[in-house]
Every structure is written in structure tokens, then in C-alpha cells.
Structure 1
Amino acid sequence: MSLDFGLSDVHVLVTGAAGGIGLETVKLFQQLGARVTAQYNSAAGELPKLQSIVALQADVRDEAAVDQLLRQASEKNGGPVSVLIVNHGIWPSQNSHIADMELSQWQNTMAVNLTGPFLLCRAFLQGLRSASDQVKENASIVFIGSTAGKFGEANHGDYAATKSALMYGMVPTLKNEIVAIASRGRVNSISPGWVATPMAEATLQDKAFVERALATTPLQKVATPADIARQIAVIASPVLSGHVNGMNIMVDGGMEGRLLFPPKQ
């Protein structure tokens, strides 16, 4: 991409970077000249094959592990993180009404999708306090939300609740708090609808499900990881989006709502 995003030599940390949106985001930021640190949980996937990428394992549910992740990122990739892309997340594949959901499922989804982002943002902001003015000038947090956070998602209330908390709780709160540390710091979210990622592959093989999922979407297509990665890069860019703050940007093909699932007999 020939357009200058102002991200050359900027340290970007991407969580959930081993596949799907995360991996595509890592590759794009690398193309834009950023210094990229890529977090993964259990499997690194293609990350070791990418040159100039610092790949670090960390369980985002673990306070000590997250603090160590930010320290190692700073030590191994030229200084403190300027841009934090909170991309990781789990979507339990089994359908489960709230009335029937196991507490263990609810707690694990909350731990990964909500407590993890809290720990990451806390460690990131603490590191930002002692960072240079140049690092602070480019400071940005980008959450990956979801149409589930806007419209809800029957059978996946745990996932919907976490995404809504990021989009409508964390973003507007942190956009007011980050400026106390970095006066030009920004916080936004990019919120996709269905994306053709490995996590969604099995679900998207059901043509009837896809038709129903896209019924209120004018563009009538499932997004690619690249569609989302490009919007992440745009919102993280201090050149293109330097005055965009506290926004939840839907990247969902114009989705207007959900159709109800057929009632159980």
C-alpha cells in the first residue's frame, strides 16, 4: 500500500495473532513498516515463518503472563508498545441458551474475552506512563468487537455480552482515561459481522445458516480477514484517523439486525 499510514517503526502488539483476523492484521502492519509483536495462546501457526515478527506466547487470562507479555514485547522489539490491537477471543461453538448454559462456559468466555482485554489494557497503559513522547504520540487501543455486541446473538449470550462490554463499556471509558497518560492517545473498536476465519469455518459451511445470517445485510457477503485488517490499520493510523476517538465502527456489510431462529418444537 503506497499511502503513508504513519506507522513506520511504530511498535504494534496484536493479540490472537496466530490465525484469521489476527494473522492478516500482523501481515498488514508488517507491510506498513511497523514493528509487530504477535501474541498467541497455544499454537503459533504461521507466525514463526514471518520475518521480523516477535511472536510471544501468553495466556491472556493470567495476570502475571499478561504483564510479562508487555515487558517482553518492550525488551525484544525495540521499546514500549504504542498500539495495542485486542483481537483475541473465543466463540463457543455449541449452542447454549442462557437458561441452559454451564457456569464454567460463562466464566471462561468472560475470562478470555473480557478479563483478558482488561489485563492487556492495564499493562499497556502502565507501560505507556514511562514511555517516550514519540511512543505516546502514536498511542492507540483498537478492540475487535462484533455484531453480536450490537444485536445480541441467541445461543451465544456469553460471547455477545463480552463484545458489548468492549464496544460500549471499555471504548467510551478508556478514550477518556488514556489522554491522562498520552494526550493524543485514542481508543476505538472495529466490529465485524461474520468473517471467514478458521474459528467460523464449520458454522459457515451451513448454507441455510449463512443465508439467514446475511438476510439483513445489503452487501450479501461474508467478510474476509483482510476486510477487517484493513479497517484496523486505518483506525490505528495516526495520520488517517488521528482525530477519531471513542468510535465503534461496524464492518458488517450494512447489517441491520438478526432474524429469529425457528422455534424449537
Structure 2
Amino acid sequence: MDLGLKLEERHVLVTGGCGMIGSKVVQAFLSAGSFVTSIDIAPRPFDLDHVNLFVLKADITNEKEFENAWQKAEAKYGLVECCVALASLDLSVLKHHQSLADMDMSQWRRTLDVNVAGTFLTARTWLRALQRYDKPVDYPDRVSLILVGSESGHFGERNNADYAASKSAVQFGLLQSLKADAPRIWPGARVNAIAPGPVATPKFWKECQESPEMYWLEAQATVAQKRPVSMAKVAKSILYLASEAWSGDVHGQILNVDSGKQGKVMWTKEECGHRSSTA
């Protein structure tokens, strides 16, 4: 039995590929032998200099700019056989709110513009590109789109409602719509989503240092394995969904990579006044 991923020489396009998690995803696909295009709004130089890596700058909310970048990617490596829609915006660090009541309308619109409209544009560009190619005659039955959601899309975020709402839209409404749509455009096309829990990024560790109770609240109190998810394991889970050899019959599903997270802490001990209710 051949247990290989069979991702060699496949064209994979990753939006947000220069971010903390995105760069790990890019490196994972390169290690699997794929040709990788990374599209990011502000691409940074990668630590690795790889012959199979093509880095482009584009804003996923700008139709013309993004479509031009996509065409350059196809000119370089051909049909995008796997698209990872990872690019998103989280303004919680820059604009922390205790309540939705404190949030500006401009922030709400900006987050949904990037996370929902930008992901829609990515999916639409992928589907339109597929329409330009002869169906499985030219390429094997192995094209897929992977949407990147979040545990916030399941459980919500009291201090981060814009982000949570955007991820719910992507991993539920958009995913289920594409589930029926994509195979009509390309027979056998698959669309799935991954919903990571708290990920052990440098940003996460910085937040834990600034707020000592953060680690317990986010990665222990409601998490079965009592730990955050590593960036490498998020990347490997995306490779699993990309691999037709491993997940060829997985379609329209959300893969929760969250160490067994079951929800959010509703009230901190301080908010409850350390009292045990007997009423």
C-alpha cells in the first residue's frame, strides 16, 4: 500500500502565505514536492530560497489585482490544483474591545471585507480558473479548495465578534454552498475547511505574557489536551485535506484541529468574585 501524499509537482496557491501560519503551510507543501505560489498583501522574504516557490504581492479584496496575480501564478506553474484560502484579518490585538458595544462600524466592515469578501473572491477566482481548462482530460481528478476558518467560528469571541462572525460565514455558509457548486464546474472537485483552535504562534505567546491567565482561558480550561495547537500541525492538517490520496472522499467538511476544544469560558473567576453559589 502506497501511503504517500502524492502532492509532488502539483500547483498549490496559498493566500496569506507570508504570515506566521501561512509560511509554515508554504514550507510544508514545498517539502511535499509541490510547486507553490504564495500571494500576500505585504510579502516578506522567505527564510528559504526554493526553486519551486513563487511569491506575489496582491490584496485579496481587490478584484483586478488578485486576478492578475492568479494569472501570473498560472503562467508560472499552470492550473492551480489546490488553493488554500488562508489570508484573513484579526484586529483584536490592535483594537481590543471589552464588548461589541465598543466596536466601531469601520472595524466590523473591514474585517468582513477581508475575511468574507476576500475569501469569496478567492473561491470565485478558483472556480473561474477551472472553467478555462478542459475537465479531467488534461488534469487528473484532484483539484481542491481549502478554506481556513477558526474555532472562533464555532464558539464566538466576546471581545472579537467581527472575526468570529467572519469565520462562521466562511466555514459554514460559504463552505456548504461551494460543496454543491464546485463539482458542477469540475467533476470531483473538493472543498473543505479547517478550523484551528488556539495556535501557538509568536503572537499567542506574546498575548500570554501580557495576560497571565490567557493560556488557561484559551488553551486549557475548555481544551481536552490542555495545550494550544502547533503551527506545524495546522500545516500538516491542510496537507491532509489537499491530498486526494488521503482525503479523496472528504468533501464539504470542517476539520477541527483544536486539541479537543469544547467552547469558551463564559465568566472568569474574578468576574464571579471567587464565590461558590449555593442558591
TM range (shorter): over 0.9
2:35 is matched with 35
1:8-33 CA-partner distances (Å, limit 9, x unpaired): 11111011111322111111111111
What CA distance in whole angstroms lies between the structure 2 residues aligned with 1:5 and 1:43?
28
What CA distance in whole angstroms lies between the structure 2 residues aligned with 1:163 and 1:62?
20
**Offset of residue 86 of structure 1:** 0.6
TM-score computed with the length of structure 1 as normaliser: 0.93
Residue ranges of structure 2 left out of the alignment (5+ in a row) = 274-279
**Offset of residue 48 of structure 1:** 6.7
Residue ranges of structure 1 left out of the alignment (5+ in a row) = none
2:198 is matched with 194
Matched ranges for 1:79-228 at <5 A: 79-92=78-91, 93=93, 94-96=95-97, 97-132=99-134, 133=136, 134-135=138-139, 137-205=141-209, 206-213=211-218, 214-228=220-234
**Offset of residue 250 of structure 1:** 0.6
Alignment CA distance shift 1:115-1:125 (3 Å)? same
Q: Which amino acid aligns with 1:112?
A: V
Query: Are the counterparts in 2 of residues 10 and 138 from structure 1 also a CA contact under 8 Å?
Result: no
- Describe the SS at the equivalent of 1:113: helix
Residue 52 (structure 2) pairs with residue 52 (structure 1):
yes
Alignment CA distance shift 1:148-1:5 (3 Å)? same
Query: Are the counterparts in 2 of residues 136 and 185 from structure 1 also a CA contact under 8 Å?
Result: no
1:194-230 CA-partner distances (Å, limit 9, x unpaired): 1122443422323311111120101111111101000
Q: Which amino acid aligns with 1:211?
A: W
Between the aligned residues of both structures, percent identity stands at: 32
Q: Which amino acid aligns with 2:223?
A: T
1:51-97 CA-partner distances (Å, limit 9, x unpaired): 320001101111111111211110122x1211110111121113222
Matched ranges for 1:72-83 at <5 A: 72-77=72-77, 79-83=78-82
Which of 254-263 and 98-107 deviates more? Answer: 254-263
**Would you say how many aligned residue pairs link Structure 1 and Structure 2?**
263
Residue 252 (structure 2) pairs with residue 241 (structure 1):
no
1:88-133 CA-partner distances (Å, limit 9, x unpaired): 1121113222212111111110111111111111111101012242
